């Protein structure tokens, strides 16, 4: 065969191969190696092919067939399956391996659901180190938004079994929930994790669900304009770049290298860490440098170390002996920096931190750990540091629109593509971003629950809600609280919507951190709610659940739901307030009498209502003998 003919044959073969490749079956990201299929439900396996192409699925010694429709879509229904595995499935020429059958849950919400195990290391280092359960698997949905229409496919993602590396990226709350279910039910657990920090509930709802909220629908339609998104992002990026460029240009510390080990800082001012330089300098936006000298013993240069600088508002770049050891670009993450061997040395060492703050009060956050750990020894870094202002800006840093949080965008891109995949139920940890308008939250959440169940065609699927934890500084007197109101909305939804459960977290928060580390408590309480809804015997899933009140003279008697009313005796009940005829709340005394609580205030002869733990960061101590706390509540009907 001559060269010309050989070339033609090769081209023909290549074209044939390309056609074959184009005709190959395509599966959605969720239907892949390592997937967990929902037990005891009829299951849909679906995908894409050429129009009219025959699709064959072989699974557990049975075969199923379908023909792709004119648009190339096909689906096959599998019968109900019992828990087990690992199994193999073939879809035409595709072989899917290591498939399990068990319980699958969708975990969604904002940053406290998103918070990965790597951020929880101080509490759960051994949990991470010893992770190795092949029966707990996660699929993390890519974080995308789309305002134009509900999407049918994800842009990526894969199923991952638990090991010391993969667990670092798993949602902490969802992991501990899955672990508890796997241990108690002895079946595999799959988590489809789809969350995004900062997102309000309306971002997770479709257009139809928001019809009662025209302002949200108008906002969603506004952002269907790609040109507007592009121009907004471009303009904001340009303004932000200009602000930080000007800051860097005028920052004397950058120009003079204030991070250097041998810098003469004898003329610098001093401040106490944790604390704020603005207490001495006055309020300003810009940059500030801090330095602290520490002495280390012989042999320190040969050892790695760990630096914990708590939390800082806002961004930092941290150096030791002039070597950059880490940086964080915004206020929420902890400053945990691993120091390689060779950076520290015997004798004098200098830690230098450049902090940039674009708005609000710049500071080292109080009640956080600040230390250097080397060779098993912790050196406390609290106390006196030297500081010097790098640059003061004439205005705060430009704001950001956060387009990704707008209504319907996350539903369309991160929920809609999941609805073909059968699940057991839903976990929901969200609400912080709705505390600005808390009274509408109950209706929004109820509507979303109804819609998600309808989309999955599971009208009674368990929906488990994490109630917002205690946060911010405590108040000395009863006051109104948007956080308390939103918690009450969450409580009301859990009491009125079928097969919902509430994991109370009012004792699991941190006053100085919107992202508390104690995620195991929350995951375990979610699991208790799942067991309760499933009808598991001998389960107490709730602390005392308020049910009714009765006035008796100048006192109010509170009753609680049967089964939750085995109240724990305490020397002094805290957290109760009584409302008088003037509409004002005053702190109240409270006393357990059997399975009821008597509440009163000696100065209020005609009380009309009671609140419990109604504050951003309350101090109530009402529990039952299960050890679970009561949810914050009000006896007022509205």
3-state secondary structure 290-328: EEEEEEECCCHHHCCEEEEECCEECEEEEEECCEEEEEE
pTM above threshold 0.85 = yes
Whole-number percent of the chain with pLDDT over 70: 96
Whole-number percent of the chain with pLDDT over 90: 95
* Structural domain contains residue 276: yes
Single residue among 393, 415, 438 that ends a domain in this structure = 393
Strand, helix or coil for residue 548: strand
Binning the chain into helix, strand and coil, the percentages to the nearest 5 are 25, 30, 40
Mean pLDDT of 158-166: 98
Nearest-angstrom CA–CA distance, 404 and 219:
12
Nearest-angstrom CA–CA distance, 525 and 522:
5
Res. 10 pLDDT band, cuts 50 70 90: very low
Q: Write the DSSP string, 624-637.
A: BTT-PBPPPEES--
Predicted local distance difference test score (pLDDT) of residue 16: 36
Start-to-end CA span in the chain (Å): 89
- For the cut 70, the answer to whether the pLDDT of residue 15 exceeds it is no
Single residue among 365, 393, 421 that ends a domain in this structure = 393
Helices and strands in the chain, H and E counts: 12, 33
For 568-603, the pLDDT digits (tens) are: 999 999 999 999 999 999 999 999 999 999 999 999
Mean pLDDT for the chain?
95
CB-side neighbour CA atoms (13 Å) of 58? 8
* Structural domain contains residue 378: yes
- For the cut 90, the answer to whether the pLDDT of residue 23 exceeds it is no
Nearest-angstrom CA–CA distance, 129 and 77:
40
Domain that holds residue 574: 546-634
Res. 24 pLDDT band, cuts 50 70 90: confident
Chain center to CA of 400: 21
Mean pLDDT of 316-335: 97
Single residue among 343, 372, 393 that ends a domain in this structure = 393
- Give the CATH number for residue 305: 2.60.120.260
Phi-psi map region of 575: left, alpha, beta (phi>0 left; psi -120 to 50 alpha): left
Q: How many CB atoms lie within 10 A of CB 218?
A: 11
Nearest-angstrom CA–CA distance, 306 and 372:
6
* Structural domain contains residue 609: yes
Q: Exposure pattern of 61-72 as b/e (b: 16+ CB <10 Å)?
A: eeeeebebeeee
Predicted local distance difference test score (pLDDT) of residue 2: 53
Rg (CA), the chain: 29
Contact assessment for residue 112 and residue 122, using Cβ atoms and an 8 Å cutoff: no
**How many domains are contained in the chain?**
2
Mean pLDDT of 241-260: 98
Instruction: Spell out the residues 6+ positions from residue 226 whose beta carbon is closer than 8 angstroms to its own.
Output: none
* Structural domain contains residue 507: no
Contact assessment for residue 281 and residue 389, using Cβ atoms and an 8 Å cutoff: yes
Mean pLDDT of 250-264: 97
* Structural domain contains residue 466: no
- For the cut 50, the answer to whether the pLDDT of residue 157 exceeds it is yes
Res. 49 pLDDT band, cuts 50 70 90: very high
Instruction: Spell out the residues 6+ positions from residue 424 whose beta carbon is closer than 8 angstroms to its own.
Output: 38, 103, 104, 105, 461, 462
Show the tokens assigned to 490. 């969450």
**Orientation angle between helical segments 482-496 and 441-455, nearest 10 degrees:** 40
Nearest-angstrom CA–CA distance, 583 and 121:
46
Predicted local distance difference test score (pLDDT) of residue 45: 98
Which residue's structure tokens are 């990026």?
237
* Structural domain contains residue 551: yes
Closest CA to 92 of 112, 115, 108, 76: 76
Predicted local distance difference test score (pLDDT) of residue 6: 47
* Structural domain contains residue 360: yes
- For the cut 80, the answer to whether the pLDDT of residue 19 exceeds it is no
Predicted local distance difference test score (pLDDT) of residue 637: 84
* Structural domain contains residue 512: no
């Amino acid at each position: 065969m001559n060269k010309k003919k050989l070339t033609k044959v090769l081209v023909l073969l290549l074209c044939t191969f390309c056609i074959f490749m184009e005709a190959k079956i395509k599966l959605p990201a969720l239907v892949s190696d390592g997937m967990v299929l929902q037990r005891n439900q009829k299951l849909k396996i679906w995908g894409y092919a050429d129009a009219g192409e025959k699709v064959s699925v072989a699974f557990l010694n049975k075969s199923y067939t379908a023909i792709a429709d004119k648009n190339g879509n096909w689906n096959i229904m599998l019968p109900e399956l019992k828990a087990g595995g690992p199994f193999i499935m073939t879809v035409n020429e595709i072989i899917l391996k290591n498939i399990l059958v068990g319980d699958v849950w969708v975990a969604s919400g904002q940053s406290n659901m998103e918070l990965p195990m790597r951020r929880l290391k101080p509490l759960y280092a051994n949990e991470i180190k010893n992770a190795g359960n092949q029966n707990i698997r996660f699929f993390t949905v890519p974080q995308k938004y789309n305002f134009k229409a509900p999407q049918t496919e994800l842009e990526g993602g894969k199923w991952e079994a638990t090991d010391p590396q993969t667990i670092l990226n798993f949602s902490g709350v969802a992991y501990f929930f899955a672990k508890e279910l796997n241990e108690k039910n002895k079946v595999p657990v799959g988590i489809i994790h789809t969350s995004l920090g900062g997102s309000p509930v309306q971002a997770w709802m479709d257009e139809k669900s928001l019809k009662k909220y025209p302002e949200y629908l108008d906002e969603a339609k506004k952002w269907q304009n790609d040109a507007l998104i592009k121009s907004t992002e471009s303009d904001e990026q340009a303004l932000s770049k200009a602000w930080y460029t000007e800051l860097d240009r005028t920052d004397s510390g950058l120009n003079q290298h204030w991070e250097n080990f041998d810098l003469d800082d004898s003329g610098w001012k001093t401040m106490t860490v944790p604390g704020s330089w603005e207490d001495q300098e006055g309020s300003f936006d810009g940059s500030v440098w801090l330095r602290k000298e520490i002495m280390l013993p012989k042999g320190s240069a040969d050892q790695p170390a760990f630096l914990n600088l708590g939390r800082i508002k806002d961004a930092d770049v941290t150096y030791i002996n002039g070597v950059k050891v880490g940086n964080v670009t915004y206020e929420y993450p902890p400053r945990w920096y691993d120091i390689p061997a060779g950076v520290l040395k015997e004798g004098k060492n200098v830690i230098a931190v450049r902090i940039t703050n674009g708005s609000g009060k710049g500071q080292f956050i109080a009640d956080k750990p600040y230390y250097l750990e080397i060779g098993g020894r912790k050196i406390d870094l609290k106390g006196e540091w030297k500081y010097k202002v790098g640059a003061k800006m004439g205005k705060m840093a430009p704001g950001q629109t956060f387009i990704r949080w707008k209504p319907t965008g996350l539903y369309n891109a991160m929920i809609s593509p999941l609805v073909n995949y059968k699940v057991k139920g839903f976990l929901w940890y969200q609400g912080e971003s709705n505390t600005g308008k808390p009274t509408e939250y109950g209706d929004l959440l109820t509507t979303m629950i109804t819609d998600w169940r309808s989309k999955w065609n599971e009208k009674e699927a368990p929906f488990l809600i994490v109630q917002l934890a205690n946060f911010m500084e405590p108040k000395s007197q009863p006051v109104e609280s948007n956080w308390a109101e939103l918690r009450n909305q969450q409580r009301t939804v859990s009491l009125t919507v079928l097969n919902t459960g509430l994991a109370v977290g009012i004792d699991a928060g941190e006053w100085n951190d919107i992202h508390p580390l104690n995620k195991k408590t929350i995951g375990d309480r979610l699991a208790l709610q799942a067991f309760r809804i499933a009808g598991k015997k001998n389960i107490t899933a709730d602390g005392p659940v308020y049910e009714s009140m009765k006035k008796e003279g100048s006192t109010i008697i509170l009753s609680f739901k049967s089964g939750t009313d085995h109240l724990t005796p305490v020397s002094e009940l805290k957290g109760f307030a009584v409302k008088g005829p003037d509409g004002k709340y005053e702190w109240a005394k409270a006393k357990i009498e059997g399975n009821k609580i008597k509440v009163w205030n000696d100065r209020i002869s005609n009380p009309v209502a009671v609140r419990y733990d109604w504050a951003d960061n309350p101090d109530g101590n009402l529990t039952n003998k299960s050890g679970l706390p009561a949810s914050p509540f009000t006896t007022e009907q509205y």
